């Protein structure tokens, strides 16, 4: 595993995509400062200061894209939960891959697929985790309730380097198994941390909002909503 550490960058994901052909499989890129952090569904990821993690992992698992790669964000969300649990916290996952503590977001994940024409070049799995952000700085994120490890932990807060080190060992430990089997490999671990299951929820889609009881996350990571006597299977969206 190679490491690239940047002082300042627009976005670690953009950097990885620009340089992808020169970066080897399993390279971890982290930045001290990110000026144009990008989130899911065209949102921004706000830089809450140097003590927080802005990281992208370059992955080149094969020459052809496989559908199960789209579940890598869910795999990473489980790995982030497992790491937070080392510190006696009880993180939860908000489908598809936000990690929350006490209903507040602590980590976000954005995976981008890089294609050249029709050929698959690799994946950039980016994540931001709020480690040291203070009460005042989390208030900068206007659209969501946000927290950090420092605000939630009962013992002393680890540095971002220590946290990243633990997270990466957890990530690589099961990565090859995940690649072989896909979402089913983590389905149970994911579902037991999925706070929305069994609840009546509203999900924002590109063309409107759907409502129903979240009955399960299926074998492919899709969210199944029961609505009256039909099932709605969602592969993209945002729980409101």
| Shortest distance, position 76 Cβ to ligand BTN, whole Å | 11
Residues that bind ligand BTN (CB under 6 A): 11-13, 37-40, 43, 45, 54-56, 98, 108-110, 126-128
Residue among 45, 46, 49 nearest 33 (CA): 49
Residue placing its CB nearer to ligand BTN in the complex, 36 or 162: 36
**What minimum distance in Å lies between the beta carbon of 180 and ligand BTN?**
26
d(CA 226, CA 60): 37
Rounded to a whole number of angstroms, the minimum distance from the CB of residue 163 to ligand BTN is 14
Measured from the CB atom, the residue of 33 and 43 that comes closer to ligand BTN is: 43
In the structure encoding, which two tokens stand for residue 134, read together? 């203070």
Question: In whole angstroms, how far apart are CA 89 and each of 49, 69, 110?
Answer: 23, 28, 23
Collect all residues with Cβ–Cβ distance below 8 Å to 90 and sequence separation of at least 6: 101
Strand 92-94, strand 53-59: pairing:
unpaired
CA angle 27, 29, 34 (to 5 degrees): 165
Whichever of 54 and 178 has its CB closer to ligand BTN, that residue is 54
Q: Which is nearer to ligand BTN, 37 or 122 (CB)?
A: 37
Nearest approach, Cβ of residue 230 and ligand BTN (Å): 29
CB 100 within 8 A of CB 91: yes
55 versus 217: smaller Cβ distance to ligand BTN: 55
Smallest gap from residue 170 Cβ to ligand BTN (A): 18
Measured from the CB atom, the residue of 69 and 212 that comes closer to ligand BTN is 69
Q: Please state the closest distance from residue 173 (CB atom) to ligand BTN, in A.
A: 22
Pick 47 or 212: Cβ nearer ligand BTN: 47
End-to-end Cα, the chain, rounded Å? 37
Q: How far is CA 227 from the centre of its chain?
A: 28
Cβ 20 to ligand BTN, closest distance in Å?
Answer: 14
DSSP string, 135-203: HHHHTT--SS-B--HHHH-SSPPPPHHHHHHHHHHHHHHHHHHHHHHGGGGTHHHHHTTBTTTTSEEEE
């Amino acid at each position: 595993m190679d490491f690239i550490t940047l002082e300042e960058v627009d976005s670690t994901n953009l950097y990885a995509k620009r340089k992808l052909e020169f970066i080897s499989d399993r390279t971890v890129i982290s930045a001290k400062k990110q000026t144009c952090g990008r989130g899911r569904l065209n949102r921004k990821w706000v830089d809450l200061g140097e003590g927080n993690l802005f990281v992208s992992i370059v992955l080149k698992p094969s020459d052809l894209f496989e559908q199960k790669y789209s579940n890598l964000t869910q795999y990473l969300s489980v790995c982030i939960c497992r790491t937070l649990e080392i510190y006696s916290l009880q993180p939860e996952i908000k489908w598809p891959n936000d990690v929350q503590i006490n209903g507040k977001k602590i980590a976000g994940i954005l995976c981008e697929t890089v294609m050249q024409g029709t050929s698959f070049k690799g994946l950039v799995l980016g994540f931001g985790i709020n480690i040291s952000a203070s009460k005042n700085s989390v208030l900068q994120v206007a659209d969501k309730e946000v927290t950090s490890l420092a605000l939630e932990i009962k013992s002393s807060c680890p540095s971002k380097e220590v946290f990243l080190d633990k997270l990466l060992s957890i990530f690589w430990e099961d990565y090859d198994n995940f690649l072989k089997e896909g979402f089913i490999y983590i389905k149970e671990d994911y579902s037991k941390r999925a706070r929305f299951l069994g609840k009546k929820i509203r999900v924002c889609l590109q063309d409107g909002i759907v409502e129903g009881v979240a009955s399960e996350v299926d074998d492919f990571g899709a969210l199944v909503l029961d609505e009256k006597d039909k099932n709605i299977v969602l592969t993209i969206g945002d729980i409101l």
